[in-house]
Amino acid sequence: MRIAVISDLHLGQRDVVDHFGHEDTAFLRFLRFLEGNFERIVLLGDIYETLTSRMPSRQAAELVAAREAHPELVRRFERPQYHYVHGNHDLIAGRVLAAPEHLMLEADGVRMLFTHGHHHDWMIRRARWLSEVAVWAGAWLRRWRLGAVFRAFDALDQRMRGAAEDPSRCTFQRWALGRAHENAADIVVTGHTHLGMRVAHGDRLFLNSGTCSQGRFSFLSLDTKAGEYAHHATW
């Protein structure tokens, strides 16, 4: 089976805090490329941005607004070829759209676990409200044109996620491999860190899809029949 994975689009309302950074028509061409080359496409969380409203705790309304702002993409995502797993920025989609928090697929004797990865973050596990308030406050920094302050806090958040290309320093990889072991998965596929990677750990493989936000293209290709797994920053 040939599977593509994309994540972390952060589709918003096309306002100043919208991180997507693509024209929808251009991104549709990318989706058509994926549809023509892969049997399944996994949307691995943070597809929509629901934590940056002007007033806090309006995630359901923000999800509706983000979907209304990108109708052609939404219609594409609702095709049977797509599988949607929610993340932390679109957590509300679990309740509103019945998006699961993980997906298991098995093909050609390969067992694969797909999960966004936000459960690794101690703040999300223990004080999710504080994490969501931080995202909301960051959106106001951007509205007030305090970009340098926002980037400093964003860099700190990235470091706190514990993601690194070096497996010996990457607590995120260790967490993901633990989930793979618990689910008897040969491959664990994550998003969340915005850092696309492919790292072999003995008989298990860790993959991260990177991000398609801020005008970037990033995706994973999984070919279980050929045994080929790769991260791509262009298409």
Structure confidence by residue, pLDDT tens digits, 36-76: 999 999 999 999 999 999 988 899 999 999 999 999 999 99
Average predicted confidence (pLDDT) for the chain = 93
Report residue 157's pLDDT band, with 50, 70 and 90 as the boundaries.
Answer: low
Q: Which residues pair with 4 in a beta bridge?
A: 41, 221
Residue 152 has pLDDT above 80, yes or no: no
pLDDT of residue 156: 64
pLDDT of residue 98: 97
Instruction: Provide CB contacts within 8 A for 10, sequence distance 6+.
Output: 18, 19, 20, 46, 48, 49, 89, 211, 213
3-state secondary structure 124-170: HHHCHHHHHHHHHHHHHHHHCCCHHHHHHHHHHHHHHCCCCCCHHHC
**pTM to 2 decimals?**
0.94
Superfamily per CATH, domain 2-232: Metallo-dependent phosphatases (3.60.21.10)
Q: Give residue 220's Cα distance to chain centre.
A: 12
pLDDT of residue 160: 63
| Closest by CA position to 90, among listed 10, 25, 172 | 10
pLDDT of residue 225: 98
Instruction: Provide CB contacts within 8 A for 144, sequence distance 6+.
Output: none
Domain boundaries, the chain: 2-232
| C-alpha–C-alpha distance, residues 163 and 13, integer Å | 29
pLDDT of residue 74: 98
- Under DSSP, is residue 74 helix (H, G, I), strand (E, B) or coil? helix
Report residue 153's pLDDT band, with 50, 70 and 90 as the boundaries.
Answer: low
* pLDDT tens readout for residues 89-133: 999 999 999 999 999 999 999 999 999 999 999 888 888 988 898
pLDDT of residue 109: 97
Q: Which range, 69-83, 136-150, 166-180, has the best average confidence (pLDDT)? A: 69-83
CA distances from 205 to 125, 130, 159, 175, 230 (A): 25, 32, 23, 13, 11
